[in-house]
Amino acid sequence: MKRLLTSILILAIGISAAAQNSFGYENPIIKGFNPDPSVCRVGDDYYLVTSSFQYFPGVPLYHSKDLVNWEQIGHVLTRESQLPLKDAHSWGGIFAPTIRHHNGRFYMITTNISGKGNFIVSTDDPRGEWSDPMWVDMPGIDPSLFWDEDGKCWYCGAGNDGIILCQVNPDTGEILSKPRMIWYGTGGRYPEAPHIYKKDGWYYLLIAEGGTEFGHGVTIARSKYVDGPYTPAPHNPILTHFKQKTQNSQIQGTGHADIIQAHDGSWWLVCLGFRIQGGQHHLMGRETFLAPVRWDTNAWPVVNGTGDFALEMNVPTLPQKPFEPRQARNEFDSQLGAEWSWIRNPEPSRYVVEDGALRMYGTAADLDESSVSPTFVGFRQQDINFTAQTCLSLRNAHTGDKAGMTVYMDSGSHYDICLKKDKGGRWAVEVKYAMGVLNHVIEEPFSGNSIYLRITGEPDFYKFWYSVDGKDFKMLGINHTRYLSSETVGGFMGIMIGLWAQSPSGRGYAQFEYFDYL
């Protein structure tokens, strides 16, 4: 009996410990094109934002209870008055947001490089509407906000090859002090992404250096005064994968970080990085990763003990509270959710969810447009190996009308598969654009009005398929992934799997019955 009671007691202690803590997680914590993460905490709720560039709505907003499992609850910028994107090219729009919470109100500061520059929006409820922009008359990018213990709010941003500080009114955007350069970094190119934290009487200034490619990293300095002088940490960079130990890691380009103290007192860092495939190429853009931080009293923060991290993280975490998994199929039985994005400011009337289908009214604009918004809605590629599928039909089609799916990096680089109406009838078409050049077109006659389209992704190839009945698929084309990678076409975007329609006559439309992503 004593042995039985002892066993029960040991089991109960184990269950209690497991309930108080969890162990291990997988990186990235937010997959697919989600760069420049910034995070804040309110009680045991965590909120995270990422960059959105030319896409609308702007600034994806995520919520978590454990820093590991995240659910997208919407966007910060949901109105054209907040986010004008007219003429925003593929690398334009929103750069590097920062989210903070102060005195019961949420603040988000960011840069619209295709608009008027830096601005602040705020709200009492992050799931609701955010204010119109309060413009901040400061040059540069990557702005951040820091509230000191005396209640003063400080603007900190990247500009003129260094980090600039000034006092700001966060509710009006008014600059309240003369801007001052406080740190140039450790010598790496593009010192940017600054965040200030106060701990143990020290002001810590965290920045990124080295650009957004393989040489990216995170450095830190500290001072007894918010405006410096700042002394760099002796072991900088505190995070980078640009070193011998991690040269073969699938995760590269780690940087642009934000540090958060969890409600149990532990410290964590979120940052961007990218997963390479097909050699030294990456296509999904920069994603959001998580690493534990040890930050002792009066000491420098140490990231994961080694200044790097892995896809599989075998470390203690907060008690994990996962959300319901995303359904593989979108039946279009309600309005499009927060996971969908448009290129620039869309015309809402061109997208109608009705009777279990998505109806898309095309215009003369195609996917090569760099100023207007084509009829397109995109879903972030989240996995190197995936299958995406839809069923569509052309309605009221005239010669030149077409609709289909696309693997879209930017206006000059995308692979498309579509159903096209031509004088000779209907055709299944696969098209390859790379770096603005039309490389090839494959056409096959198609007698039906409805067609099933499928795109599969692998480390080295995208494959394009079509079917009459949704069962027997024929491969129409195969293209190398590398020709859409950032290393080939440049920039720092990520792949969107898009549904699109084009109607030069302005009379035809496409009807999509569902969208699968596995």
Please say if the pLDDT value at position 17 is more than 70.
no
Q: Is the peptide bond before 194 cis (omega within 30 degrees of 0)?
A: no
State residue 7's pLDDT score: 38
| Best CA proximity match to 59, nearest among 460, 338, 283 | 338
> How much is the average pLDDT of 78-107?
96
The CA-based angle 413-416-419, given to 5 degrees, is 155
> Each residue of 23-52: b (16+ CB within 10 Å) or e?
eebebbbbbbbbbbbbbbbeeeebbbbbbb
Predicted confidence at residue 20, as pLDDT, reads 55
Please state, in angstroms and rounded to a whole number, the distance separating the CA atoms of residues 75 and 287.
17
Burial (CB count within 10 angstroms: exposed 0-12, middle 13-18, buried 19+), residue 353: middle
370 vs 87: CA distance, rounded Å: 7
Give the CATH number of the domain where residue 288 resides. Answer: 2.115.10.20
Q: What confidence score (pLDDT) does residue 435 get?
A: 73
289 and 363 belong to one structural domain: no
Q: Does a structural domain hold residue 32?
A: yes
Query: Which is more confident, 424 or 140?
Result: 140
The pTM score is 0.95
What b-and-e string marks burial along 317-346, b requiring 16 or more CB atoms within 10 Å of the CB? bbebeeeeeeeeebebeeebeeebbbbbbb
In terms of residue numbers, what domain contains 165? 25-317
Average pLDDT, the chain: 94
Q: Taking Cα atoms as reference points, which of 37, 125, 128, 120 lies closest to residue 82?
A: 120
* From 36, 66, 258, 410, the catalytic residue: 36
DSSP state of 350: G
Residue 310 lies in a domain: yes
Q: Is cis: bond before 28, omega within 30 of 0? A: yes
CA distance 324 to 328: 12
| Entry field: residues in the chain | 518
Residue 52 CA to residue 308 CA, distance in Å, equals 26
Per-residue pLDDT at 121: 98
In sequence order, the 6+-apart residues with CB closer than 8 A to the CB of 315 are: 23, 24, 25, 292, 304
Residue 10 lies in a domain: no
Of 317, 342, 372, the one marking the end of a domain is: 317
Catalytic annotation, pick one of 66, 142, 192, 430? 192
pLDDT above 90 coverage of the chain, percent: 88
Do 254 and 199 have their domain in common? yes
Mean pLDDT over 174-180 rounds to 98
What's the number of domains the chain is made of?
2
**DSSP state, 53?**
B
- Told to judge if 44 belongs to the known catalytic residues of this protein, a careful annotator would answer no
Q: Which amino acid is at 111?
A: T
**Which comes out higher in pLDDT, residue 10 or 191?**
191
Amino acid at 462: Y
Q: Count Cβ atoms below 10 Å from residue 422 Cβ, excluding itself.
A: 15
Domain end point (choices 282, 317, 352): 317
pLDDT in tens, 127-175: 999 999 999 999 999 999 999 999 999 999 999 899 999 999 999 999 9
Q: Does the pLDDT at position 5 exceed 70?
A: no
Check residue 442 and give its pLDDT.
Answer: 86
> Are residues 362 and 231 part of one domain?
no
Residue 6 maps to a domain:
no
Measure the CA–CA gap between 154 and 175, rounded to whole angstroms.
Answer: 9
Bridge partners for 303 per DSSP: 293
Q: Can you give the pLDDT at residue 424?
A: 74
- Has 192 been annotated as catalytic? yes
Q: Is there a single domain that holds both residue 365 and residue 221?
A: no
The CATH code of the domain that includes 339 is 2.60.120.200
Cα distance between residue 205 and residue 196, in whole Å: 5
The alpha helices in 28-129, defined as continuous H runs, are none
Q: How confident is the model at residue 486 (pLDDT cuts 50, 70, 90)?
A: very high
Q: Are residues 312 and 345 in the same domain?
A: no
Question: What are the tens digits of pLDDT across the range 207-245?
Answer: 999 999 999 999 999 999 999 999 999 999 999 999 999
Instruction: Identify whether the C-beta of residue 325 lies closer than 8 Å to the C-beta of residue 518.
Output: no
Q: Would 276 be classed as within a structural domain? A: yes
pLDDT category, 425, cuts 50, 70, 90? confident
176 Cβ neighbours under 8 A, 6+ residues apart: 166, 167, 168, 169
State pLDDT tens for residues 280-336: 999 999 999 999 999 999 999 999 999 999 999 999 999 999 999 989 999 999 999
List the structure tokens of 377.
């809605």
C-alpha 103, offset from chain centre:
28
CB 460 within 8 A of CB 278: yes
**pLDDT of 199 higher than 60:** yes
Residue 27 is predicted with a pLDDT of 98
pLDDT (tens digit per residue) in 38-90 = 999 999 999 999 999 999 999 999 999 999 999 999 999 999 999 999 989 98
pLDDT of residue 15: 29
Strands 180-183 and 192-199: unpaired
Same domain as 381, residue 352:
yes
**Are 346 and 285 in a shared domain?**
no
For residue 111, being part of any structural domain is answered with yes
* 423 within some domain: yes
Q: How far apart are CA 150 and CA 177, in angstroms?
A: 16
For residue 5, what are the contacts with CB-CB under 8 A and spacing of at least 6?
A: none
Residues 335 and 311 in one domain: no
b vs e for 77-108, b when ≥16 Cβ sit within 10 Å of the residue's Cβ? bbeeebbbbeebbbebbbbbbbbbbeeeebbb
Domain presence at residue 498:
yes
353/360 Cα distance (integer angstroms): 9
Q: Are residues 285 and 380 in the same domain?
A: no
The closest of 401, 516, 510 to 465, measured between CA atoms, is 516
Q: Are 114 and 85 within 8 A, CB to CB?
A: yes
Model confidence band, residue 448 (pLDDT cutoffs 50, 70, 90): confident
Confidence tier at 447 by pLDDT (50, 70, 90): confident
pLDDT value at residue 6:
39
Same domain, 90 and 193: yes
- Token readout for 222 is 């500290």
How many percent of the chain have pLDDT more than 70? 96
Confidence of residue 489 (pLDDT cuts 50, 70, 90): very high
Range name among 147-156, 394-403, 417-426 with the lowest pLDDT average: 417-426
Res 434: pLDDT: 78
Together in a domain, 303 and 448: no
Q: Are 238 and 260 contained in the same domain?
A: yes
Distance in angstroms (rounded) separating the CA atoms of residues 481 and 122: 40
- Given 317, 349, 383, the domain boundary residue is 317
